[in-house]
Amino acid sequence: MDKVLIEVQSLKKYYPIKKGVLRRTVDHVKAVDNVSFQIYKGETLGLVGESGCGKSTLGRTIMNIYDKTSGDVLYNNLNVHEVDKKTMNKLRTDMQIIFQDPYSSLNPRLTVEQIIGEAVRFHKLKPKNEIYSHIKSISEQCGVDPNHLRRYPHVFSGGQRQRIGIARALALEPKFVVCDESVSALDVSIQAKVINLLKELQKEKKLTYLFITHDLSVVKHISDRIAVMYFGRIVELADTSKLFESPLHFYTKKLLSAIPKSNPKKKSKDYRNLATPEWLKIPKGYKVDDRLPKDRNSPSELIEVRDGHFLSCYKDD
């Protein structure tokens, strides 16, 4: 069994809805609703779903950028949301995030050298006389020309800015990286280069990724396993090949059927017509959770319905 690096246990992140003169809380937006899964050391777990389903909120709550409502996030058995400030500062070097927008995520007042080296200096990871050579080395690995380190972000293209963002994250020599829609703002040709770069860096530095995206064709190329998120919940989790060959949840089937076809004249597989196999190991008294949020009275849970394939089910009362 591979070593578990990240373990998410019943994680919830709710936002209050306030109304009236007294601004009383009348309800909550359940951005992340009772999510549990594990990420193994050295793997890439893809997290997919439509915009607004809670993917980015989940990634940032795992990183402790957002406070949790309840639940736990364990990194190497350390509870990320419960540790003291000193321990959290140490964890910041082990856990990094690559943000979605390569334009707004870089400080326009800092040069590339300052952007990449800012956190290195703050955490004192390298002696002062070695910081520049470290920045130069990371820049070269991420495809950033060392001759451009004195330039400002506004002179670069989207792909070049994203490489700077990747270099900034990897400058701290992390073990776990959240890639939050890190290629969605880029052209297709640039997407391929950045994804190949991420894969090369993962192999070289033995990184673990949580790769968040809404693009299933991208996640298929980079992920070892895929988790499907629907209205704040994980509804299906499986190896990439299993998920694409035999999806089980109705929402997963819809996502796969919505992938654009390279040849419109060629008839493609309609996943929506796939029947649910009868041999699934669903416990007695449980049903596959195919309900809309407004229909959910009883909570659901991820159940292993075959080896390594988890599906959201609920007790049929």
Euclidean distance between CA atoms 43 and 275, whole angstroms = 30
Amino acid at 299: P
**pLDDT grade, residue 278 (50/70/90)?**
low
Residue 1 has pLDDT above 50, yes or no: no
Instruction: Scan for tokens 């927008």, then name that residue.
Output: 101
Q: What is the DSSP string of 92-125?
A: HHHEEEE-S-TTTTS-TTS-HHHHHHHHHHHHT-
pLDDT of residue 279: 63
CA–CA separation, 68 and 251 (whole Å): 26
Strands (E) located in the chain: 4-19, 24-40, 44-48, 70-75, 78-79, 95-98, 176-180, 208-213, 225-230, 233-239, 286-288, 300-306, 309-315
Taking alpha carbons only, the member of 54, 62, 160, 73 closest to residue 168 is: 160
75-104: average pLDDT = 91
Look at 271 and 144; give whichever has higher pLDDT: 144
Q: Could you confirm whether domain 4-231 is CATH 3.10.110.10? A: no
Mean predicted confidence (pLDDT) in 160-164: 89
What pTM did the predictor assign? 0.89
Report the chain's mean pLDDT, rounded to a whole number.
Answer: 88
* C-alpha span between 225 and 183 (Å, rounded): 19
Domain parsing of the chain, residue ranges:
4-231, 250-317
The C-alpha R_g of the chain, in whole angstroms, comes to 21
63 vs 65: CA distance, rounded Å? 5
For a pLDDT cut of 70, what percent of the chain falls above it? Answer: 94
Residue 44's alpha-carbon distances to 27, 40, 48, 109, 287, in angstroms, are 35, 8, 13, 34, 29
Q: Is the pLDDT of residue 121 over 60?
A: yes
pLDDT higher than threshold 90 for residue 12: yes
Sign of the dihedral defined by the CA atoms of residues 96, 239, 307, 291, in that order: positive
Computed from CA positions of residues 84, 39, 276, 244, in that sequence, does the dihedral angle turn out positive or negative? positive
297 contacts: CB under 8 Å, gap ≥ 6: none
pLDDT tens-digit readout, 43-53: 999 999 988 89
60-88 pLDDT, tens digit per residue, is 999 999 999 999 999 999 999 999 999 99
